[in-house]
Structure formats: structure tokens, C-alpha cells
Amino acid sequence: MAFGTYTQLRQKEDVEDSIYVISPVDNPVASMSRTLRATGKLHEWTSDVLQAAGVNAAVEGADAPADSSAAVTELQNYCQIMTKSAQITGTLETVDKYGRDSEMAYQLELRYGEMANDEEMAIVGAPGGARQTATAGSAVAARKMASLQSQLDASVIKYATANRLVGGVAITTVAQLEQCLLDAHLATYEAGGNPSYLFTNPATAGYISSFAYQSGRSRDLRNEKTFMNVIDLYVSYYGELDVVLDRNQDVTTNCYLLLDFDYLATPVLRPTVDYPTAKTGDAESRQIIRESTFAVLNTKAHAMVDAIPAGLT
């Protein structure tokens, strides 16, 4: 080719050998809960509580008092079957590809991430626009686990209303929301609970950092010119709460969840596994399957601020 003269050449393709996936896998509640073994479709467990403190003074020489023990509380939740499939052509698995060696391995990795998100949404989200309720299932209906929120005792649920009750007048300020949070924290503290995590969805996370502004609380960090708009640890009289953001937490009815992972578990009937399905043509397919539930082991060990309005000032 003469210098300075354009001649069309067959150029080697310039393609990065990578695939950039931004979609997150976000399942902190499921992954932070301890794993237990389930042995049936309906998993059951037991909780108990001490009697409230009271006057305890006996007359000298008196007979033993009558037994005052109460029955334990039986709790339960259904195991839910979750499944995904990956199917590719034989050709696609064989040809050279950018960003992955095996198309099946790549697709399975995506499906596993999707299933993790599905499990988290079943536990703390609103799949289909509503929090899950326990469903026994039938020949035509799938079994479903009850959400974490629906397993909490009513005494540790405080609504973002003036009287903290469902249906009350909604609060309008961040300062009122913080008081709701303190009331919820106090409710579980008085019952013996000691939650250490505060879970929030992205829509209501900003309110937590606004607590400092509303109360005029600030800290000088080594005279550095840094603007901070985040709180990762909230401390009250009733304990410390690490703030955790969960993309899959309910955004239909915003809430704050105060959780103690000593009293949360994921009972697993069938661990997550993938296996090849019947071959019907020039394609390869694998099914992923998991059967598990979620257990709030003690319903008063946690707390919730529910129905948080948007647009608080």
C-alpha cells in the first residue's frame, strides 16, 4: 500500500472479552439468616416468654405457690418451591464466544442470581404488589411462605401514624418518623428483644440520614471538607442498629425492619441444585430448583415501622 493512500483492509474485530452486568443480586435478609433443616412441607417451631416481673414476697412458712406456667407458642410456615430454567442451543454452547467460555454456565449464573432476588422478595418484598401470606397450595396453586412482616407480633409493629395504629392520621415529618422508630425499638426492647440491624428500602433510606438534620446533630470529622449524607449506625437508648439497604424490600408499603438474626432462620427442605432436563431436540436445558421457607423464631424479637409515607419533610 502506498503511504497516504487509503486502502480497505480486513480488520480484526475489536471486541472486549467481557460482559458487563449491572443488575444486582441483593438478598441480605436471606443470606444473613442462619440455615436450618426442614423435614416437611409445613415447617413448625416453638417460642416461649418469661412472665412479666411482679411483686414476689412470701410469708414465712407459707406453702409453695401454685404453678403459673403458660403453654408455649407454636409457629409455622410453608416451604415454597422456587425454580428457574436455562436453555441454549447446542451450537451456542460449542462456538467461541466473547465474555464466557460456556454459555450454559453463564446462563446458570444469571438464573442463580435471579432466584436469590426472588427469595429475598418473598421474604421482605411485595412480589406481585403485595406481601406474601402463607398458602398451603393445591394441585393448581403453589405453596407460598408467609413474609417476615406478616410473622411479627402486633405489639412490635408501629405504624407511621399519629397514634402508631393502622388507619391513623399519617405523619408528615422526618422528626415524627424518628419517634415512630424509637417507639418500635422500645416495644421490642420491653419484650426482651435486642435487634442489631435496621433494614430499609432505597425509597426511605434518605429519611434516616435526615434524622441528624432534624435534630441538629453533627460531627466534625478531622476538619476535613467532606459532606456526609449517610448514617450507617443508629444509636438509641435501646441499642445500636446497623443500617442495611435492601433493594428487594417492600416498596409498595414502605417500612423499617429492626431485626435480630439470632431469631431468624431459613429452613431448607431441598437445597438449591440444578440438573439437566429431558432433551427434546438440538438444545440443552437445565432446571434450578429450591424448596425452603423463612422462620421468625420469636415474633417479639424484632420490630417494624410500617406504612411510611412518601414526601416527609
How far apart (Å, rounded) are the C-alpha atoms in residues 187 and 166? Answer: 16
pLDDT tops 80 at residue 221 = no
> What pLDDT score was predicted for residue 91?
86
pLDDT over 80 (residue 12): no
C-alpha–C-alpha distance, residues 216 and 213, integer Å:
5
Beta strands in the chain (DSSP E): 34-37, 42-47, 73-78, 80-89, 157-159, 197-200, 233-236, 239-245, 255-259, 264-276, 283-292, 295-296, 303-306
Total structural domains within the chain: 1
CB 308 within 8 A of CB 200: no
pLDDT reading at 224 higher than 90: no
Note whether 78 and 40 are within 8 A (CB).
Answer: no
pLDDT class of 18 with cuts at 50, 70, 90: low
Instruction: Give residue 209's pLDDT.
Output: 86
Task: Please state, for a pLDDT cut of 90, what percent of the chain lies above it.
Answer: 72
CA distance 276 to 274: 7
Please report, as a single letter, which amino acid is at residue 36. Answer: L
Give 98's pLDDT tier (boundaries 50, 70, 90).
Answer: confident
pLDDT of 238 strictly over 70: yes
Average pLDDT rounded to a whole number, residues 57-73: 91
User: Does 255 fall in a domain?
Assistant: yes
- Report in angstroms the alpha-carbon separations of 93 from 21, 30, 276: 20, 33, 14
> Residue 19: is its pLDDT beyond 70?
no
Residue 3 lies inside a defined structural domain of this protein: no
CA 183/CA 238 separation, integer angstroms: 10
Does residue 60 carry a pLDDT above 60?
A: yes
User: Which residues lie closer than 8 Å to 98 by C-beta, 6 or more apart?
Assistant: 15, 16, 17, 18, 19
Give residue 21's pLDDT band: very low, low, confident or very high (50, 70, 90).
low
Q: What angle do CA 19, 23, 29 make, to 5 degrees?
A: 135
Least confident of 11-20, 87-96, 165-174: 11-20
Does the pLDDT of residue 233 top 60, yes or no? yes
The answer to whether position 111 is within a domain reads yes
Residue 175 DSSP one-character state: H
Residue linked to cell 421490642: 188
Query: Alpha-carbon distance 132 to 148, whole Å?
Result: 9
Question: Does the pLDDT at position 195 exceed 60?
Answer: yes
Q: Please list, in sequence order, all residues whose beta carbon lies within 8 angstroms of the beta carbon of residue 193, skipping any fewer than 6 positions away.
A: 156, 260, 298, 300, 301, 302, 303
Q: Which residue has cell 423464631?
A: 297
CA–CA separation, 132 and 293 (whole Å): 12
Interatomic CA distance for residues 80 and 123, integer angstroms: 11
pLDDT greater than 80 at residue 230: no
Query: Taking residues 239-260, what's their average pLDDT?
Result: 95
C-alpha cell of residue 215 = 435534630
For residue 228, is pLDDT > 60?
no
pLDDT mean over 256-261: 98
CATH code of 205's domain: 3.90.1690
* pLDDT of res. 22: 60
In a domain, 115, yes or no: yes
Among 169, 174, 260, CA closest to 214: 174
Report the chain's mean pLDDT, rounded to a whole number: 89
In a domain, 256, yes or no: yes
Confidence at residue 14, expressed as pLDDT on a 0 to 100 scale: 65
What does the pLDDT look like over 107-123, one tens digit per residue? 999 999 999 999 999 99
- Domain assignment present for 284: yes
- DSSP letter for 167, please: T
What domain range is 137 assigned to?
Answer: 28-46+73-217+228-306
Residue 36 CA, distance from chain mean position: 17
Residue 245 lies in a domain: yes
The residue whose grid cell reads 407454636 is 74
Question: What pLDDT score was predicted for residue 306?
Answer: 98
Mean per-residue pLDDT for 145-157? 98
* Domain assignment present for 273: yes
Q: What is the average per-residue pLDDT within 31-47? A: 95
User: In this prediction, what percent of the chain has a pLDDT beyond 70?
Assistant: 87
pLDDT digits (tens, 9 = 90+) for 201-214: 999 999 998 887 65
